[in-house]
Amino acid sequence: MNRYFLYLVILNMLTNVIIFVPNFLIQYRYDGAIMSILIATISGMILMYLDSIVFARFPGKGLPEIIENRMRVPFKIILFVGFSLFWFTAGLITLLGYIDILHRFINPDLPKVWLMVIFLAAICFVIQLSTQKVVYLLEIILLLNGPLVIFIFFKAITSDYLNWDSIFEIGTHFFTPPKLTPIVVASYVFSGYTNIIIFNRLFKEKIKSINFALILGLSILNLFTSFLVPIGFHGADGAHEYMYPWIMTSDSIRLVYSPIERALFIFLMLYISITLLSVSVHWHVAFELIKGSYIKKQSKKKNWLVFACFIGFSILAVLRIDLLKPEMVIKFWLIARYFFEIIIVFCFFFFLRRRKA
């Protein structure tokens, strides 16, 4: 079961390649992005390790089962609803970003709200499944799509159009002091570990060290390739002109012997299932946390009410997102998410210390 923990982190890594991580990092390419990536890697691995230690003390239990008889009902409801809003927002931001990508590059004539409705139909089907079935689906999707995504990354790195001089130019800013924004953005790559709050139900033993070693290597590779490859294709000064750098990078890749020559369409089709699954995992956690607030009085009516709230807020968000400044909203949410993760991990850690005492 340890491999499922690895899958949760890898899913989050793959999803954030095309949404907003490369965009924010490229904006700070001259202002400490490289040092920020290294700091984010260290902090992300520390938080991940501490969180795994906490939940390893409760094998086979998610947060609802852990605190079922350790907290009064009003406080438990507030805690679960607050946590579920965090996970719901994480999935919603990812979903809105990918819908915007499909609207821009695939079908500009189809209203975003219809794309949202199509995606919600699939997502609502997945999130009501058992946690075991969700990870089975996660494993299938990653095993099917993972090799193709790796192939596209390989084609990008070995492409004749990749200018290594632009990448080396960014390397000359290695010692530039880091900034807060690129640190919190880069650290979001590791945030898949937070889903252990529910998926710990499947983990019967302590997570092995080999998982952390693999995550460390993959995270460094993921961050530097998603950050530097678009710069290599579009130049150190030109890469920041694009809202979705990796989408334009994939459009620069040609698959000469493939039935579809432009890698863009293959890249987007692969990421439909990856994005849908990423949102489904986040919303499954949110759904299970809300269910935890009425765990002794389960009812289908309450479950359908939760689905209705998810759907209603999602449609409202896609209708109103153009009136806001999405980039600023995402930036502030990422900063809030970073400190929220630090707080909850250390709260869980000290809760465990107190319980042992």
Counting Cβ atoms within 10 Å, is residue 67 exposed (0-12), middle (13-18) or buried (19+)? middle
CA dist., res. 71 & res. 48, Å (int): 25
Category of 130 on φ-ψ map: left (φ > 0), alpha (ψ -120 to 50) or beta: beta
| pLDDT value at 356 more than 60 | no
pLDDT in tens, 22-50: 888 998 999 889 999 999 999 999 999 98
Res 354: pLDDT: 63
C-beta contacts of 246-254 below 8 A and 24+ residues apart? 246/17, 246/18, 246/22, 247/18, 247/101, 247/105, 249/156, 250/152, 250/156, 252/159, 252/161, 253/152, 253/155, 253/156, 253/159
Res 323: pLDDT: 54
Res 266: pLDDT: 84
283 close to 91: Cβ distance less than 8 angstroms: yes
Q: What is the CA radius of gyration of the chain?
A: 20
Non-local CB neighbours of 215 within 8 Å, separated by 6+ positions: 6, 9, 45, 48, 190
pLDDT in tens, 324-338: 567 778 888 888 889
pTM over cut 0.85: yes
Nearest in space to 245 (alpha carbons), one of 259, 234, 258: 234
CA dist., res. 270 & res. 275, Å (int): 9
pLDDT band at 109 (very low <50, low <70, confident <90, very high): confident
Domain that holds residue 234: 2-356
- Report the CATH number at residue 301: 1.20.1740
Dihedral sign from CA coordinates of 141, 250, 38, 84 = negative
Q: What percent of the chain has pLDDT over 90?
A: 22
pLDDT in tens, 179-227: 988 999 999 999 889 999 999 888 888 888 888 999 999 999 989 888 9
Average pLDDT over residues 145-150: 87
270 close to 145: Cβ distance less than 8 angstroms: yes
CA distances from 155 to 148, 163, 267 (A): 11, 14, 12
Q: Which helix (H) or strand (E) holds 78?
A: helix 73-105
Non-local CB neighbours of 53 within 8 Å, separated by 6+ positions: 349, 352
CA distances from 16 to 102, 256, 278, 349, 356 (A): 16, 27, 10, 27, 37
Q: How many domains does the chain have?
A: 1
